[in-house]
Homo-oligomer: A and B are copies of this chain.
């Protein structure tokens, strides 16, 4: 029986009991953090071997025949280009391996198109004063941060269990030349964990944008991050785009940040040869070469794609119980009272929850005051503004399991308390 069926008296009695429980929690002086998608210490320890595979006695000449300790190889070492080609589902000739951050590569990609046209005869985006970008919501705050920084008007596109609302995407993209792109996390989406359906991918490949310089920013951050024994499958967008003659539409990104060490991993991007020509024309002035020793380190640590997948299974063994803790707490604490609607992802880094409308900010505030830091409410929307103030991203990876259990207890109390404040208000 949910709160909606409670009598006034029952609601007040529950409210009073929860307030008392909340005060008990506050007196515990907790300091817990579920704000960001940071790997936990046990996950970091999985990659310690990465630091031993290269040492002073290593061989530094790889497939390219060059001493990788020196300048050169703008697009990265061939060994790593091959590895990322497998991850991204493209050919190695389309891959550029970069520094330690795919976010940086996405920023540079947008930055490039801001001042240089990606299509001949079209203006650099800086010149398009009413430039716009589509932002599936809930989505990744750092994506929105980039297009926000560059002054795009950001249009939220609702997500459902199949991906973004493609009717809306098609309608907008085909009619408005000032719409220049869309942010996508197509597999185990941040934060909902949704993987785009085959139909959604095919509809992306078949888009007919009014703007010839419209681009799909396909951030495949979680492409191999399964936490379920029945992992999702994502259709290969590049292959679909080849069929529709839309090869220049997508730009692909991924990294090892959540595979080895965040900030000390290796990132990569891929796109059609025509697109890569424009980006490489920028990269060749921007840098001589990225860190090839770290590329070699990653290649040697994994060995091959199978080695990489074996490594991911170790992450899965750590993450699966964490997601189970989160979901069982939500099931046990919130489902009975009919508050909240959440996702049950097969992979990725997050659980997305819609709490009672108009209470997300209050929930995060209550958590903070009780010593549990959550991602800011609204962060999953452009400009940090969730119009219904209901979505919260839960990031279960960083806290140890015993802390996660306590943090989720606190979170559930706060979700119920905020709902009751509204109902009893």
Contact = CB atoms under 8 A, between A and B. Distances in A.
Interface in A25-83: 36, 38-39, 41, 44, 47-49, 51-52, 54-56, 58, 67, 69-72
A368 B148 CA distance: 50
Interface stretch (A95-103, A199-207, A330-338, A400-408): A95-103
Contacts of A58: 51
Nearest to A144: B285
A18 interface: no
A3 interface: no
A115 interface: yes
A23 interface: no
A294 B150 contact: no
A55 B56 contact: no
Given A126-B115, A263-B70, A287 B54 contact: no
A296 to B, nearest CB: 10
Q: Which residue among A70, A150, A261, A282 has the maximum number of chain B CB atoms within 10 Å of its CB?
A: A70
A262 interface: yes
Contact of A286 (B72, B107, B284, B290): B107
A405 B84 CA distance: 43
Contacts of A67: 41, 44
Interface in A249-291: 257, 261-264, 282, 284-291
Nearest to A100: B291
A142 interface: yes
A237 B27 CA distance: 54
Contact of A150 (B56, B115, B288): B115
Nearest to A289: B263
Nearest to A74: B263
A140 to B, nearest CB: 12
B51 A261 contact: no
A114 interface: yes
A291 B288 contact: no
Contact of A149 (B55, B71, B285): B285
A124 to B, nearest CB: 8
Given A70-B38, A111-B111, A146 B285 contact: yes
A298 interface: no
Q: Which residue among A36, A51, A107, A126 has the maximum number of chain B CB atoms within 10 Å of its CB?
A: A51
A288 B264 contact: no
Given A70-B263, A146-B285, A100 B41 contact: no
7 contacts: A44-B67, A44-B70, A70-B263, A100-B290, A103-B287, A111-B115, A263-B293
